[in-house]
Amino acid sequence: MKVALLSDCYLPRLGGIEVQVHDLADRLRRSGHEVEVFTATPGRAGERHGAVELVDGVPVHHLALRLPGDLPVNPLAPPELRRRLLAGGFDVAHVHMGVVSPFASDAVDVALSVGLPTAVTWHCVLDAMERVLAVSGRVRRWAGRGVALSAVSRMAARPLERLAPDARVAVLPNGIDLDRWRSPTAPTHLAAGPGPEGDAGPVRLVTAMRLARRKRAVPLARVARRVDDLVGDQIDWRIEVFGEGPQRGLVQAYLRTHGLTDRVLLRGRVSRDQLLESYRGAAAYVSPTVLEAFGIAALEARAVGLPVVGRRGSGVEEFVEHGVTGLLAGGDRDLAAHVATLVLDPVARQRLRRQSLETPPTQSWPAVVGMVEAEYARAGRLARRGRT
């Protein structure tokens, strides 16, 4: 099968959609499919205006304009995209949507106009955009024209079900290389922290997130302050934050003001290998995000065996069972209380760790590729019927 993957954002930009679409392209190619990517993101050497770059064996069409900040926006792309999709001999178009995705939205209309079976996956929580899409009627129209709709989690799928009530919205989760995160070089134990079964170092928590408002970077600092109040001087602990973003300065200012610079350590952006290494000996992973459609970093930590402490109603519920593989909170006070529990209770940490290792997550790439292939087959059936 020849597959066109279409996304506003792609490498070298770094983010959840960018990495997931890249990895999906790679995994589809390994499974014997022919794959090409179309994006409004410039290439590694600034490729634009339709230049094709080969990225890990996959041709990437950079239909990008020269814009401030290399914004992945190109309202002039549809005619050229149409020409390339017609000439490419593709069997299916798979469009990947974020919160605001002008290029991807245009790509859906172009793919339909050339008669391609089309699957559309949302990687985001729509939130306020749901009202905009309801007024435009775009999602309902797509469903009526035979688009196979999906989202990366059940919580992300619910708004789409409201927008297109007569359509089936599938759940098409993100995938991870489970073998890599659970390899023999991954940690075989969790440091219990101070106590008879652990070392004498601090209890170390980790998180990987963009330091941005939507990811709740500043509220994470507030949670850390609450944890510090709950734990007091009983045990030494740290939380290491991996990632960068526009709110780094605000977070640093909060930490300085409240004397938390020795508790919350901003480690900056690191590679996947470095992130895996950082999980060695960690006690738990903390996910403060509410508008999180999935949470790939939390899933990777869960694959290593780290208990995940997160918010109910977020995408982490797809792979975290409360009291079994992590702890889920209804609000930030509960989140802080759960974190404090794991800092103070090495027995609880080890129990959750053991259970997490015994029940690996199901979102491995082989399983996800099978689901993607089934979604492509559904898109083909819908295209033939012209209805949902």
- Residue 183: band (very low, low, confident or very high) from pLDDT cuts 50, 70, 90: low
SS3 245: coil
34 within 8 A of 44, measured Cβ to Cβ? no
In tens, the pLDDT along 2-33 reads 999 999 999 998 778 999 999 999 999 999 99
Per the listing, tokens 């688009």 go with 147
Domain 178-358 in CATH: superfamily? Glycogen Phosphorylase B; (3.40.50.2000)
| Closest by Cα among 303, 24, 72 to 174 | 24
Task: Tell me which long-range contacts 84-87 makes (C-beta under 8 A, separation of at least 24).
Answer: 84/38, 84/50, 85/4, 85/110, 85/111, 85/114, 85/116, 86/114
Please tell me the predicted confidence (pLDDT) of residue 211.
Answer: 94
Any idea where the domains of the chain sit in the sequence?
Answer: 2-174+365-385, 178-358
Gap between the Cα atoms of 301 and 275, Å rounded: 9
Q: Is the pLDDT of residue 197 over 80?
A: no
Higher pLDDT, 13 or 341: 341
Q: What is the mean pLDDT of the chain?
A: 92
Please name the CATH architecture into which domain 2-174+365-385 falls. Answer: 3-Layer(aba) Sandwich (3.40)
307 within 8 A of 217, measured Cβ to Cβ? no
For helices 296-304 and 16-30, the axis angle rounded to 10 degrees is 60
Gap between the Cα atoms of 225 and 179, Å rounded: 36
123 within 8 A of 91, measured Cβ to Cβ? no
Sign of CA dihedral 362, 367, 369, 375: negative
Q: Is the pLDDT of residue 351 over 90?
A: yes
- Residue 187: band (very low, low, confident or very high) from pLDDT cuts 50, 70, 90: very low
From residue 361, alpha-carbon distances to 298, 299, 358 in Å are: 11, 8, 10
215 within 8 A of 297, measured Cβ to Cβ? no
Identify each DSSP E strand in 98-213 by its residue range.
Answer: 118-122, 148-151, 169-171, 203-208
Please tell me the predicted confidence (pLDDT) of residue 184.
Answer: 52
Please tell me the predicted confidence (pLDDT) of residue 189.
Answer: 43
| Closest by Cα among 38, 139, 142 to 83 | 38
Q: Is the pLDDT of residue 191 over 50?
A: no
Residue 252, Cβ density class (10 Å: 0-12 exposed, 13-18 middle, ≥19 buried): middle
211 within 8 A of 251, measured Cβ to Cβ? yes
Please tell me the predicted confidence (pLDDT) of residue 190.
Answer: 43
- Residue 230: band (very low, low, confident or very high) from pLDDT cuts 50, 70, 90: very high
- Give the lowest-confidence range in 110-119, 187-196, 318-327, 346-355: 187-196
Question: Hey, how many other C-beta atoms are within 10 angstroms of the C-beta on 88?
Answer: 18
Domains 2-174+365-385 and 178-358 share a fold: yes
Rg from Cα positions in the chain: 22
Per the listing, tokens 């309202």 go with 75
- Give the lowest-confidence range in 175-184, 238-247, 279-288: 175-184
Q: What are φ and ψ of residue 301, in 5° steps? A: -65, -40
**Strand ordering across the sheet containing 92-97:** 51-55, 58-62, 34-39, 2-7, 92-97, 118-122, 148-151, 169-171
Please tell me the predicted confidence (pLDDT) of residue 273.
Answer: 87
This model's pTM is above 0.75: yes
% of the chain surpassing 90 pLDDT = 85
Q: Is the pLDDT of residue 288 over 90?
A: yes
